[in-house]
Structure 1
Amino acid sequence: MPPTVILPQPDRSLSPYTLRQSTGFTPPQAPLRSRVFFAAAHVVADPLADVTPASPPALDWDATLAYRRHLWSLGLGVAEAMDTAQRGMGLDWPTARELIRRSVAEAHAVGGMIACGAGTDHLPPHAGYTLDQVEAAYLEQIEVVEQAGGRVILMASRALAACARGPDDYLRVYGRILSQVRQPVILHWLGEMFDPHLAGYWGSRSLDDAMETALAIIHEYAAKIDGIKISLLDADREVQMRRRLPPGVRMYSGDDFNYPDLILGDDQGYSDALLGIFDAIAPAASAALQALDADDPSRYRAILEPTVPLSRHIFQSPTYYYKTGVVFLAYLNGHQNHFRMVGAQESARSIIHLSRLLVLADQAGILRDPDLAAARMRHVLALAGIEG
Structure 2
Amino acid sequence: MAEIRLPLAGGGSETWRTGEPLRFDPPSRPFTRVAYAAAHVVADPLAEVDPWLEPAIDWERTLAYREHLWSLGLGVAEAMDTAQRGMGLDWAKSLELIRRAVAASGGRPGRLIACGAGTDHLAPDPGLSVEQVIAAYEEQCAAVEAAGGRIILMASRALAACARSPDDYGRVYDRILGQVREPVIIHWLGGMFDPALEGYWGRGDHGEAMEVCLDILARNAAKVDGIKVSLLDKRHEIAMRSRLPESVRMYTGDDFDYPELILGDGEHHSDALLGIFDAIAPAASAALAALAADEHERYREILAPTVPLSRHVFRAPTRFYKTGVVLMAWLNGHQDHFTMVGGQQSARSLLHLAELFRLADRAGLLQDPELATARMRSLLAVHGLEG
- Scaled to the shorter chain, the TM-score interval is over 0.9
CA distance in 1, matches of 2:235, 2:297: 22
SS class of match (2:272): strand
Once the 2 structures are TM-superposed, how far is the Cα of residue 53 of structure 1 from its aligned partner?
A: 3.7
1:61 maps to what in 2?
Answer: 59
Matched position secondary structure for 2:211: helix
Residues 219-298 of structure 1 aligned to structure 2 (within 5 Å) = 219-298=218-297
Greater Cα shift, 52-61 or 271-280? 52-61
Task: Determine the C-alpha separation between the residues in 2 that align with 1:27 and 1:368.
Answer: 15
Structure 1 runs (4+) deviating above 3 angstroms are none
- Give the counterpart letter for 2:302 in structure 1: I
Residue number in structure 2 paired with 1:70: 68
What is the deviation of 1:314?
0.3
| AA matched with 2:377 | R
User: Within 2, Cα distance between the matches of 1:330 and 1:128?
Assistant: 41
Which residue of the partner structure matches residue 107 of structure 1?
Answer: 105
Q: Which runs of 5+ in 1 are unaligned?
A: none
Q: How far 1:12 sits from its partner (Å)?
A: 1.1
Distance 1:136 1:64 in 2: 30
Deviation at 1:109, TM superposition (A): 6.1
CA distance in 2, matches of 1:42, 1:334: 14
Match of 2:214 in 1: 215
Contact 2:78/2:98 (CA < 8 Å) preserved in 1? yes
Query: Counterpart of 2:47?
Result: 49
Alpha-carbon displacement from aligned partner over 1:153-185 (angstroms, at most 9, x marks no partner): 000000000010111001111001000000000
- The aligned amino acid for 2:92 is P
Q: 1:172 is matched with which residue?
A: 171
Which residue matches 1:329? 328
Letter in 1 for 2:217: I
Measure the CA separation in 2 of the matches of 1:386 and 1:361: 21
Partner of 1:92: 90
Deviation per CA, 1:186-205: give whole Å up to 9, x if none.
Answer: 00000000000001100110
Residues 123, 158 of structure 2: 8 Å contact kept:
no
Q: For residues 316 and 278 of structure 2, what CA distance do their matches in structure 1 show?
A: 19
What amino acid maps onto 1:323 in structure 2?
K
Output the amino acid matched with 2:299: Y
Deviations 1:223-244 (A, max 9, x none): 0000000000010110000000
Shift of 1:128: 1.9
Q: How many residues align?
A: 386
Unaligned runs of 5+ in 2: none
Match of 1:36 in 2: 34
| Post-superposition CA distance 1:35-78 (Å, at most 9, x none) | 01100000000010122243220100000000000000000000
Cα 1:318/1:266, change in 2 over 3 Å: same
Q: Tell me the equivalent position of 2:182.
A: 183
2:125·2:162 contact (CA, 8 Å) conserved in 1?
Answer: no
Cα separation, 1, equivalents of 2:338 and 2:329: 9
Once the two structures are TM-superposed, the CA of residue 299 in structure 1 deviates from its matched residue by 0.1
Q: Percent identity?
A: 64
What do residues 64-120 of structure 1 show as CA deviations (whole Å, max 9, x unaligned)?
000000000000000000000000100000000000000001011654100000000
The separation in 2 between residues aligned to 1:284 and 1:357, in whole angstroms, is 16
Q: Which residue of 1 aligns with 2:351?
A: 352
Counterpart in the other structure of 2:139: 140
For residue 149 of structure 1, give the secondary structure of its aligned residue in structure 2: coil
Matched, 1:82 2:80: yes
For 2:159 and 2:131, the matched residues in 1 are separated by 10
In structure 2, distance between residues paired with 1:194 and 1:54: 20
The secondary structure found in structure 2 opposite 1:228 is: strand
TM-score by length of 2: 0.98
What code does the residue aligned with 1:137 have?
A
What is the deviation of 1:148? Answer: 1.0
- For the aligned residues, what is the CA RMSD? 0.9
Contact 2:225/2:249 (<8 A) preserved? yes
User: Aligned equivalents of 1:264 and 1:314: distance in 2?
Assistant: 22
How much does 1:33 deviate?
2.5
